[in-house]
Structure 1
Amino acid sequence: MSPRTSDCRPRKKALGPAIRVALLVAGSALAGSFAASAAPAPADDAGWQFSGDFRGGYFASERTARDGTESDEDAFNARLRLAFERSLNETWRFRTRVAGRFSSEQDDLDVYLHSYAPTRGGADFGDITLDEAYFGYQAPDDGLRFKVGRMQTAFAVPGVASKGLDRNDSPNIGVNWTDGVHLDMPVAGGWRGHVIAQYQDAKGSSSVTAAPLDFSDSSSRATLFLGMENKQRVGAITQRMLSLTWMPDSLADRGLGDPSRQDYVTVDARIAAEWPMGATGAKFVTGAEVGYAMETPLDAVSGTGGNGDTGGLAWQVQASVYDFAPRHNIGLAIGRADAGWLISPDYRPNDSSVEVRYQWQFLPKTSMEARVRERRELEHPAGTRARVDRDLYVRVSHKF
């Protein structure tokens, strides 16, 4: 369970939750209907298409703090997402989605539409919002793709425990989003170029960002992501990608209370491969990713106990076996992120992580998944011990 963080903003209570959900959905539908009437005649008259997904289960964790104090918590947590989509013509479409996070331990219910998330990890438990509301363009023959509005952007290493070091919106039961523009274009030889320009609100980001990233400076309003990706198979290799993230004047390298701001720039590379295992249909999938932050905060800001700059290296390795028995998959993910790597939704700064994940696809659209994980602090002040977190979950996912 994710407790409310200290950067939560005041919650609006002017409208009842049910009324506000209805307004969000109705507003999205009206926007799509208006766009459809203004666009050229559609290729078909299929109207609105509805889809969604539910994910929920039991989550438990325990912590051994730096001073040796032990604590634990558990809850039943869930995420529900309902999407509405309409084709405007052969190349354009409109899509919107309502997303909510819920927990047996939540304090209240809040429905909102902000350009920032209320916590550094995204939407909190009890929150309902739109995590998609965009116009999308798809050129024929797998050509140019284009989205503008609120969308999901994700690039991850494939596997049962699929994870990413940089841009990976809404993992697990999280709710994050990207407000901006995503240009996805063919280059050559199976390579595609990605350009994502994301708006950042002065009150915070809608993506996962760890302190001391800060967007209060007027010159930090836009984040730029540039990527080159190739998913065309070459032998056993199934994915290659290089990317760069630029967050101008967003790093409070001397602390949030100091006016000093630096550009936060990271580079990232990932690769994945796949091999068949025998004649039963089983396959082995593995992948690796490494990232490096050019500029990092001081150790004194991150609380590592050092007296210089924090490290900027992050990496992960994954290995999965699919269909080791029919519809049963298992995966291992190992990774770590130095205290200066501040943009991963899957790996916390200054932590190492080891997890095992099991998945059973017992129906075409329904699966059960279980995870056990240990996260251990990398650096800590002298006279203290490394913080250790252990957690597990058992959850069910269903698409409709």
Structure 2
Amino acid sequence: MTGMSRERILPKPGRYRPALLAVVSLAAALAVPAAQAEETGWHFSGDIRAGYYDSERTDRNGMESDSHALRGRLRLAAERDLGEYLHFRARFAGRYGQHQTGHGFQLHGYASTSTGMELGESTLDEVYLDYADAAQPWSLRLGRFQTRFALQGVASKGLDRNDSPNIDITWTDGLHYRHQLQPAWRAHLVLEHNHRKGPGSAVRAPLEFSDDASRVTVFAGLEASEALGPVTQRMIGVTWMPAALASDGTAFSRREDYITLVGRMAASWRLTEAGLRLVPGFEIGYAPNTPRATVTGSGNAGDAGGLAWQAALSLYDIAPGHNLGLVHARTEAGWLISGDFRGNDALSEIRYQWRFTPEWSMEARYRLREEIDIPAGVMRQREDRDFYMRISGRF
């Protein structure tokens, strides 16, 4: 897995026994008949993704390597109202597959790797309270939760806050304040707690959180809550990570703030009476303060580039339930906060989706990723080609 590796501490015997008992209880509760669940006030749900994943790499020295495996993710949730304004939700999430290296249930305040939990690991990726009063324009979520601000489309990728894409498991620890601005805009404020070994969300080296001043990441966003003609998505967002950027590398003491600005927009047009729909979208981000190019391995002098963008084109209902998505993106080496895009990569992707029912679908994806910049003397850019075919369902 590419990116910053985080030290993982294996659980001591009995250390997580209360959490394990809670997970077992949650799984057993899913077998409770619906009528009984309604009597107790609990609602139980889940989702699963499983498929075949194949990847090939041509490295900088020309060497070829490949891997293929069956992999999947299971998530089980329980939730209920606690009075008129409070709502509680908890969810167990686990990643599984051939050649897995993880070690059972983890309940750290940080993810095991730069892009989430390892295969073989499971955790609680949601444990939160929601406060919402329909008479008020604001609401508040507190605890461990998911934040997703991806570009609309079949592929649905994001440059900044897009927890748990594909079969990954990431999360946000902290609070999410939402405020409806009349008539058609919604403001977001996310304060994310960072463990000294990293957050639960996706971040890449040389972002590092040992400095006490880096304990909180701030995200502020402004999102349109109503369509404007054919424009169905408009959003801008700013992320601030104080004292988290090791510009000269983690071996040096200097730490700087890391800031990103992101804007995204998508539109939708119906092309035929049968329902064929075209959805183009574009997202762009910029990080004004980036690490040295030598630190990211993308060059020999100066700072790494901080520009990132993606262009997406989706066709929905080519035939009923059959959708096609295309994505092209370019992410310079100084872009460090996406779980969907690696820094220093040019990406091209095609994705086909067949939605059998509203709850179940099949997807196939082919993706090509090539390095943008390499140091002098390196033979060639690294190239990765990967394919998957997976089934996704909710229950």
Work out whether the TM-score is over 0.5: yes
The residue that corresponds to 1:272 in the other structure is 266
Given the superposition, is the C-alpha separation of residues 71 and 19 from structure 1 closer, same or farther in structure 2, using an over 3 Å criterion?
Answer: farther
**163-172 vs 139-148, greater mean Cα deviation:** 139-148
Counterpart-to-counterpart distance in 2, 1:379 and 1:271 = 28
Q: Please give the root-mean-square deviation of Cα atoms over the aligned residues, in Å.
A: 2.1
Q: Does the CA contact (< 8 Å) of 1:239 and 1:272 recur in 2?
A: yes
Shift of 1:7: 2.8
Given the superposition, is the C-alpha separation of residues 214 and 349 from structure 1 closer, same or farther in structure 2, using an over 3 Å criterion?
Answer: same
Counterpart-to-counterpart distance in 2, 1:335 and 1:134 = 34
After superposition, the C-alpha distances for 1:65-113 in whole angstroms (9 at most, x for unaligned) are 0010110001101000000000112321000000000011113532121
The residue that corresponds to 2:384 in the other structure is 389
Q: Does the CA contact (< 8 Å) of 1:56 and 1:395 recur in 2?
A: yes
Counterpart-to-counterpart distance in 1, 2:390 and 2:132 = 34
The residue that corresponds to 2:354 in the other structure is 360
The residue that corresponds to 1:247 in the other structure is 241
Counterpart-to-counterpart distance in 1, 2:354 and 2:15 = 39
The alignment status of 1:341 with 2:340, answered yes or no, reads: no
Shift of 1:300: 1.2
The one-letter amino acid of 2:354's match is W
Pairwise mapping of residues 1-400 of structure 1 onto structure 2 (< 5 A)? Answer: 2=1, 6-15=5-14, 21-24=20-23, 47-140=41-134, 143-384=137-378, 385-400=380-395
Shift of 1:24: 4.3
Counterpart-to-counterpart distance in 2, 1:97 and 1:237 = 34
Given the superposition, is the C-alpha separation of residues 238 and 6 from structure 1 closer, same or farther in structure 2, using an over 3 Å criterion?
Answer: closer
Counterpart-to-counterpart distance in 2, 1:72 and 1:27 = 38
Q: Does the CA contact (< 8 Å) of 2:5 and 2:114 recur in 1?
A: no
Counterpart-to-counterpart distance in 2, 1:14 and 1:287 = 49
Shift of 1:306: 2.6
Shift of 1:4: 10
Given the superposition, is the C-alpha separation of residues 58 and 89 from structure 1 closer, same or farther in structure 2, using an over 3 Å criterion?
Answer: same
Q: Which secondary structure state, in structure 1, belongs to the residue aligned with residue 178 of structure 2?
A: strand
The one-letter amino acid of 2:344's match is N
The one-letter amino acid of 2:290's match is T
Q: Does the CA contact (< 8 Å) of 1:291 and 1:313 recur in 2?
A: yes
Q: Which runs of 5+ in 2 are unaligned?
A: 29-37
Runs (4+) of structure 1 exceeding 4 A deviation are 2-6, 15-20, 24-29
Q: Which secondary structure state, in structure 1, belongs to the residue aligned with residue 363 of structure 2?
A: strand
Counterpart-to-counterpart distance in 2, 1:4 and 1:105 = 19
The one-letter amino acid of 2:382's match is R
Q: Which secondary structure state, in structure 2, belongs to the residue aligned with residue 359 of structure 1?
A: strand
Counterpart-to-counterpart distance in 2, 1:134 and 1:346 = 25
Given the superposition, is the C-alpha separation of residues 142 and 45 from structure 1 closer, same or farther in structure 2, using an over 3 Å criterion?
Answer: farther
Shift of 1:144: 1.6
The one-letter amino acid of 2:145's match is M
Q: Which runs of 5+ in 1 are unaligned?
A: 30-43
Counterpart-to-counterpart distance in 1, 2:24 and 2:257 = 37
The residue that corresponds to 1:39 in the other structure is none
After superposition, the C-alpha distances for 1:164-201 in whole angstroms (9 at most, x for unaligned) are 00000000000000000000111133100000000000
Q: Does the CA contact (< 8 Å) of 1:4 and 1:124 recur in 2?
A: no
Counterpart-to-counterpart distance in 1, 2:326 and 2:142 = 36
After superposition, the C-alpha distances for 1:17-47 in whole angstroms (9 at most, x for unaligned) are 9985324465999xxxxxxxxxxxxxx9651
After superposition, the C-alpha distances for 1:196-254 in whole angstroms (9 at most, x for unaligned) are 00000001121110100000000000000000000311111011111100000000000
Shift of 1:303: 1.1
Q: Which secondary structure state, in structure 2, belongs to the residue aligned with residue 363 of structure 1?
A: coil
Q: Which secondary structure state, in structure 1, belongs to the residue aligned with residue 268 of structure 2?
A: strand
Counterpart-to-counterpart distance in 1, 2:4 and 2:12 = 19
**310-319 vs 357-366, greater mean Cα deviation:** 357-366
Shift of 1:117: 0.6
Counterpart-to-counterpart distance in 2, 1:293 and 1:88 = 41
Q: Does the CA contact (< 8 Å) of 1:60 and 1:72 recur in 2?
A: yes
Given the superposition, is the C-alpha separation of residues 388 and 261 from structure 1 closer, same or farther in structure 2, using an over 3 Å criterion?
Answer: same
Q: Does the CA contact (< 8 Å) of 1:17 and 1:109 recur in 2?
A: no
The one-letter amino acid of 1:387's match is R
Given the superposition, is the C-alpha separation of residues 25 and 131 from structure 1 closer, same or farther in structure 2, using an over 3 Å criterion?
Answer: farther
The one-letter amino acid of 1:14's match is P
Q: Does the CA contact (< 8 Å) of 1:28 and 1:133 recur in 2?
A: no
Q: Does the CA contact (< 8 Å) of 1:117 and 1:123 recur in 2?
A: yes
Counterpart-to-counterpart distance in 1, 2:27 and 2:362 = 32
